[in-house]
């Protein structure tokens, strides 16, 4: 039996072993389903089979073995797999181990089948190497992007509040008999210090998510309605001009990290206030078959089509994201928190319907569901 036919006939067995090994590499605290662990494995194997079925001259083989081939049949699946694993906190070493295990699994099973046709093994190795190279290149690109974002935030966004604190301290160094003015200076310094504290927290979350870690969760029973009420109260204090409404139905109690979940809701509400048109921001929460659905809606201009694919990436909506209240990490961190809980988040935006971010959150964590 040819290797092409073997992979095609034993694809499910190969994928099962691939997903089982990937589970051992899953970062601590990450909640990934079997479907997510299998993600893109079938695409990779399909691309391998297609590649093996493509005629190749001796010159093309020589060029490809040196990384100069022109076909790049594995590029798409390699990049997609890297993007998916980056989102779930895998390191480049983990993905490297995945490809190594995939190669070993296919060749071991092929050998155990008693097959003797090794003419396609070289092509198979070249195809896997190409997908691996594309994945590693993707990790390098994302690491460079992360470094530039991190340096940009440190050099630009933190400078303004730090300048305010420094200027305020200089003013307080001079004695004066104007308590009202000194009170305004102290308030401004406190606000700037709190803003820097929020920025540092966001940067720590970004670092955990981008460098192979996960946001830790401390699960306990929590009521989403109570969390939303607290977020609305806090948002009303810091943004008194905003009108916020909450509509709830059903049992909204789940086993979640209440503080982290409140952070995610607060980020979504802050985004809705920032980009809304002044009409009320509406939060709608309802029970849905073992999960809770939370929708945050605002009116105003829709999200531009070119921004939509990367809306949950850091700084995706430009330097104006959040104005003086954010450094452009709010939606990214909200998605990271929701994903850590095993949920998902989606967005719909149009000129006539406004913008709605919808979160689906399982009431139970993986351990609870298994029990």
Residue 318 sits in a domain whose CATH number is 3.30.565.10
Dist CA 48 CA 296 (whole Å): 43
How many structural domains compose the chain?
3
Q: Is residue 289 within 8 Å of residue 346, measured between CB atoms?
A: no
Q: Are 179 and 231 part of one and the same domain?
A: no
pTM (predicted TM-score): 0.57
Nearest CA-CA partner of 343 in 326, 329, 360, 324: 360
- pLDDT tens digits, one per residue of 285-314: 999 988 999 999 999 899 998 888 888 876
Looking at the fold, whether 171 and 122 belong to one and the same domain comes out as: no
Residues 165 and 140 in one domain: no
- pLDDT classification of 223: cutoffs 50, 70, 90: very high
Tell me, yes or no, whether 179 and 269 share the same domain.
Answer: no
Question: Rg of the chain over CA atoms, in angstroms?
Answer: 25
- Within a domain: 9: yes
Please indicate, yes or no, whether residues 121 and 75 belong to a single structural domain of this protein: yes
**Rounded distance between C-alpha atoms, residue 280 and residue 272, angstroms:** 10
The better pLDDT of the pair 205, 220 is held by 220
DSSP 296: E
Contact 92, 12 (CB under 8 A): no
User: Average pLDDT in the 1-25 region?
Assistant: 85
Residue 304 maps to a domain: yes
* CATH code of the domain containing 106: 1.10.490.70
Q: Does residue 28 sit within a domain? A: yes
By C-alpha distance, which of 282, 299, 293 is closest to 349?
299
Whether 151 is covered by a domain: the verdict is no
Provide the domain limits for residue 295. Answer: 220-370
Domain boundary, last residue among 118, 145, 172: 145
Q: Between the CA of residue 53 and those of 123, 128, 208, 213, 252, what are the distances in Å?
A: 10, 15, 42, 39, 53
Residues 203 and 99 occupy one common structural domain: no
pLDDT at 107: 86
What secondary structure letter does DSSP report for 363? S
Q: How many residues does the chain have?
A: 371
250 Cβ contact list (under 8 Å, min separation 6): 286, 287, 288, 292
**61 and 14: one domain?**
yes
Whether residue 282 is found in the same domain as residue 197: no
pLDDT tens track for 229-272: 988 988 877 778 889 999 999 999 999 999 889 889 988 998 99
């Amino acid at each position: 039996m040819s290797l092409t036919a073997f992979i095609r006939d034993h694809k499910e067995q190969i994928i099962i072993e691939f997903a089982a090994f990937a589970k051992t590499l899953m970062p601590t605290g990450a909640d990934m389903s079997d479907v997510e662990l299998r993600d893109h494995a079938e695409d990779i194997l399909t691309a391998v089979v297609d590649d093996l079925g493509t005629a190749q001259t001796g010159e093309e083989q020589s060029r490809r073995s040196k990384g100069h081939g022109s076909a790049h049949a594995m590029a798409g699946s390699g990049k997609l797999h890297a993007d998916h694993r980056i989102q779930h906190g895998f390191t480049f070493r983990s993905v490297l181990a995945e490809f190594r295990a995939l190669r070993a699994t296919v060749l071991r099973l092929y050998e155990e089948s008693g097959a003797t046709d090794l003419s396609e093994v070289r092509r198979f190795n070249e195809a896997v190497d190409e997908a691996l190279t594309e994945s590693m290149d993707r990790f390098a690109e994302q690491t460079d992007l992360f470094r530039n974002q991190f340096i940009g935030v440190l050099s630009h966004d933190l400078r303004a509040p730090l300048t305010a604190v420094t200027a305020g301290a200089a003013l307080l160094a001079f004695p004066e008999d104007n308590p009202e003015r000194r009170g305004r200076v102290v308030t401004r310094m406190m606000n700037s210090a709190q803003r820097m504290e929020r920025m540092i927290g966001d940067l720590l979350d970004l670092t955990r998510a981008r460098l192979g870690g996960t946001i830790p969760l401390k699960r306990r029973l929590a009521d989403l309605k109570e969390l939303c009420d607290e977020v609305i109260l806090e948002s009303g204090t810091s943004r008194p001009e905003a009108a916020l409404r909450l509509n709830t139905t059903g049992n909204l109690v789940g086993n979640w990290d209440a503080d982290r979940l409140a952070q995610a809701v607060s980020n979504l509400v802050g985004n809705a206030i920032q980009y809304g048109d002044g009409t009320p921001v509406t939060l709608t929460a309802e029970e849905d078959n073992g999960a809770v659905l939370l929708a945050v809606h605002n009116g105003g201009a829709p999200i531009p089509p070119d921004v939509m694919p990367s809306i949950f990436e850091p700084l995706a909506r430009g330097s104006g994201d959040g104005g003086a209240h954010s450094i452009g990490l709010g939606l990214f961190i909200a998605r990271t928190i929701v994903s850590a809980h095993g949920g998902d988040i989606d967005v719909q935006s149009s000129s006539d319907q406004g913008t709605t971010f919808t979160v689906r959150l399982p009431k139970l964590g993986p351990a609870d569901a298994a029990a």
